[in-house]
């Protein structure tokens, strides 16, 4: 007998993970390719960040991206892995009817779950000041629309509350409880200050909880043992890979601009052979031997071919 389709299997895996009491680590994939490394290094799932998607398009994280863009990128990322995927659906892209369509679209793209937040449109990064919230009732409607719209009951609906930074911790807890009652499977309390507030949240809210370990934000960066001991169920590193990559890209561009060559950078680069390994070049040979009809170089720096200025015979 055939097993469940890959998307269904990933959702079931996420459900089992949430029930397991173990902490699930979801780094934010900043490209479909980076997902391969996340899987290879043994992480439990892949996060798809709205902030990263916007940033990659050169945009701030203020709700400018569309459902089509988010779903398209999420689909590309999910296609590269069998791990569960959780995507940032911001405010759900409109009224409850739009939220319903958002869920159906993301489900259709093979995603395992998404989070919806209780900010008013235009939303902003949860770690900035000046956020405005919709009423608890309006957010409950968003969640109810999402729950009713899913066709796979294992598609995870995560409710994010941004209330901590706006109305304080008790208001955030109260909202989270209402969102659980409305059917949310996972709660994302945004921008808690640190372990103390996380502990209170854990005590007061009877649902799986997600910790956001974003850098340069309002929450202290805790290690997995601390987060697991508090009893949170999922940790995301939403923008970490983008920040690492962009840090390296900027440094590299400076070296090329200053030194006129990238030679000093080669040792820091992912080699051609490692890239090909991640791309699974060899597997493609199974249906077309011509594709892999060459040796994968070792990744050792190759001597540059002689140019007019280096060729002895031309000096
Ligand atoms: C989690 C988040 O929603 C995201 O889009 O990745 C952001 C992350 C960030 O801006 O650091 C958020 O926390 O609002
Ligand atoms: Mg976001």
Check pocket membership of 214 for ligand 1, CB cut-off 6 A: yes
Confidence tier at 84 by pLDDT (50, 70, 90): very high
- Structure-model confidence comparison of residues 181 and 297, the more confident one: 181
Q: What's the rounded mean pLDDT across residues 218-242?
A: 97
Confidence tier at 4 by pLDDT (50, 70, 90): confident
Ligand 1 center–CA 61 separation, angstroms: 8
pLDDT for 299 equals 53
Specify the pTM. Answer: 0.91
Does the structure show a pLDDT above 90 at 298? no
Check pocket membership of 99 for ligand 1, CB cut-off 6 A: no
- Structure-model confidence comparison of residues 300 and 129, the more confident one: 129
Does the structure show a pLDDT above 80 at 290? no
- Return the residue matching tokens 């009491």: 21
Confidence tier at 311 by pLDDT (50, 70, 90): very low
Ligand 1 center–CA 264 separation, angstroms: 34
Confidence tier at 175 by pLDDT (50, 70, 90): very high
Domains belonging to the chain, first-starting first, are 6-238 (3.20.20.60), 245-292 (no CATH)
Confidence tier at 89 by pLDDT (50, 70, 90): very high
Q: What's the rounded mean pLDDT across residues 5-14?
A: 96
Does the structure show a pLDDT above 80 at 13? yes
Q: In terms of DSSP H, where are the helices of the chain?
A: 6-20, 32-40, 50-56, 67-78, 96-108, 136-149, 164-167, 169-181, 195-204, 224-230, 240-259, 272-279, 281-284
Please list the active-site residues.
47, 61, 88, 90, 115, 117, 125, 160, 190, 212
Q: Tokens representing 227? A: 């987060």
Does the structure show a pLDDT above 50 at 146? yes
Ligand 1 closest atom vs CA 190: 13
Q: Which residues contact 204 (CB under 8 A, 6 or more apart)?
A: 173, 176, 177
> Which of 239, 240, 244 maximizes ligand 1 atoms within 8 Å of its Cβ, making it the mutation to test the pocket?
239
Residue nearest to atom 1 of ligand 1 (CA): 238
> Which of 164, 188, 214 maximizes ligand 1 atoms within 8 Å of its Cβ, making it the mutation to test the pocket?
214
Q: What's the rounded mean pLDDT across residues 254-279?
A: 97
Q: What's the rounded mean pLDDT across residues 85-108?
A: 98
Check pocket membership of 239 for ligand 1, CB cut-off 6 A: yes
Query: Which residues crowd ion ligand 2, with CB under 5 Å?
Result: 50-51, 88
Query: Is this prediction's ipTM beyond 0.95?
Result: yes
CA–CA dist 142, 99 (Å, integer) = 6
> Which of 125, 220, 240 maximizes ligand 1 atoms within 8 Å of its Cβ, making it the mutation to test the pocket?
125
Check pocket membership of 173 for ligand 1, CB cut-off 6 A: no
Confidence tier at 286 by pLDDT (50, 70, 90): confident
Ligand 1 closest atom vs CA 90: 3
| Other beta carbons less than 10 A from residue 303's beta carbon | 7
CA–CA dist 311, 184 (Å, integer) = 69
Residue nearest to atom 13 of ligand 1 (CA): 126
pLDDT for 161 equals 98
Check pocket membership of 127 for ligand 1, CB cut-off 6 A: yes
| Other beta carbons less than 10 A from residue 115's beta carbon | 25
Mean pLDDT across the chain: 92
pLDDT for 282 equals 84
Ligand 1 center–CA 153 separation, angstroms: 26
Check pocket membership of 162 for ligand 1, CB cut-off 6 A: no
DSSP H/E element including 211 = strand 210-212
- Return the residue matching tokens 């807890």: 173
């Amino acid at each position: 007998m055939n097993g469940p389709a890959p998307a269904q299997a990933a959702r079931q895996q996420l459900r089992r993970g949430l029930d397991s009491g173990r902490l699930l680590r979801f780094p934010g994939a900043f490209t479909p390719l980076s997902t391969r490394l996340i899987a290879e290094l043994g992480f439990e799932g892949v996060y798809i960040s709205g902030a990263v998607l916007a940033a990659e398009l050169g945009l701030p994280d203020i709700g400018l991206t569309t459902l089509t863009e988010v779903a398209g990128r999420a689909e590309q990322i999910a296609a590269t892995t069998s791990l569960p995927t959780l995507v940032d659906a911001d405010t759900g892209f409109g009224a409850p009817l739009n939220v319903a369509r958002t869920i159906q679209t993301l489900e259709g793209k093979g995603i395992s779950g998404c989070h919806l937040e209780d900010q008013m449109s235009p939303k902003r990064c949860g770690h900035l000041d000046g956020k405005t919230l919709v009423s608890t009732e309006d957010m409950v409607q968003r969640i109810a629309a999402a729950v009713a719209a899913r066709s796979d009951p294992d598609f995870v609906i995560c409710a994010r509350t941004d209330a901590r930074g706006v109305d304080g911790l008790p208001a955030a807890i109260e909202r989270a409880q209402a969102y659980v009652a409305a059917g949310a499977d996972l709660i994302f309390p945004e921008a808690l200050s640190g372990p103390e507030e996380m502990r209170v949240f854990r005590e007061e809210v009877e649902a799986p909880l997600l910790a956001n370990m974003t850098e340069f934000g309002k929450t202290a960066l805790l290690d997995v043992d601390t987060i697991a001991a508090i009893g949170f169920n999922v940790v995301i590193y939403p923008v970490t890979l983008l920040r690492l990559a962009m840090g390296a890209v900027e440094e590299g561009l400076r070296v090329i601009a200053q030194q006129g060559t990238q030679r000093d950078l080669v040792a820091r680069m992912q080699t051609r052979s490692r890239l090909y390994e991640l791309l699974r070049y060899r597997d493609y040979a199974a249906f077309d031997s011509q594709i892999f009809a060459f040796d994968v170089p070792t990744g050792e720096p190759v001597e540059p071919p002689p140019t007019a200025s280096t060729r002895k015979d031309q000096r």
